[in-house]
Homo-oligomer: A and B are copies of this chain.
Amino acid sequence: MRATTEEVRDRLLDATERLVYRDGIHGTGVDTILAEASVARMSLYNQFGNKDGLVLAALDRRDRRWMAWYEARVNGAAPNGAGRVLALFDALDDWFRQPDFHGCAFINAVGELSDPQHEVRQLAARHKQALARFVADTCAAAGLVGLDRALFLLIEGAIVAAMVEGRPDPAADARAVATRLVAVG
């Protein structure tokens, strides 16, 4: 039995995303990825060139998937505008409660890489721009002006606090702050 190109690609991306998210880029070896994906060594290099290409592809897919999940979770939560703003933090709460939660894969990756021009760092910057834009759109749809930057910083702070503290509580804390900010306009 021989796997198709797409199957091999998916298994490699799945394993890489999981391991890099858990142990970091420099803490994840090619051998571990290959074992986890049950894939031959040459398949990695034929499909992605090298480890860097594989990691970049895995993080790129995670960017698109995570944003899609977050937007769907927020947009599907509350019908009205103000409630949707608070749903930004309810979605975080769900995320923080997942057993394998380990912060934001892109924040963690930037912390490992010193070169600002590194492709992974540029991807991380784009990921955060997309998140900030979604937060701004959500605020705009609720008729709330001048709040998006505050909510974005609260989201980022809650993510790292939940990781370092090992608790989901920062989601509720940030939500409470957001509630107050929305109330006072």
Contacts and interface: CB of A to CB of B under 8 A. Distances in A.
Interface SS, A side: helix
Question: How many copies make up the complex?
Answer: 2
Contact of A116 (B107, B109, B166): B166
Given A102-B114, A111-B102, A111-B103, A177 B164 contact: no
A171 to B, nearest CB: 10
Interface in A129-185: 149-150, 152-161, 163-166, 170, 173-174, 176-177, 180-181, 184
Interface stretch (A18-26, A40-48, A56-64, A73-81): A18-26
Interface residues of A, number: 45
Give 4 closest A-B pairs by Cβ, nearest first: A108-B111, A157-B157, A153-B157, A26-B26
